[in-house]
Amino acid sequence: MPLLVAFAVLYLFGMRSILDEAFIVRGLEPSIHEIYEPSVPDVLAAGLATTVWSVAE
């Protein structure tokens, strides 16, 4: 189950990067704030993925 959560988090990060790339291609670049300061859910997801990875090792 933890491995499934880790894959889900990585999938969501991948989808977000695809959407970000689509915005950049259309000339709708995200603001500097969005690029350099991750949101709270991003930080929590990264922490969860790191924890799951550590437990899986």
Q: Output the pTM of the full model.
A: 0.34
pLDDT higher at 35 or 53: 53
Domain boundaries, the chain: 2-56
The Cα–Cα gap between 44 and 6 comes to 12
What are the tens digits of pLDDT across the range 6-48?
777 777 776 776 666 666 666 666 555 555 566 667 777 777 7
- Three-point CA angle 56, 47, 18, nearest 5°: 100
- In whole angstroms, give the CA distance from residue 21 to residue 46: 20
Q: How many CB atoms lie within 10 A of CB 50?
A: 12
CA-nearest of 30, 6, 36 to 16 is 30
Looking at residue 41, what is its pLDDT?
74
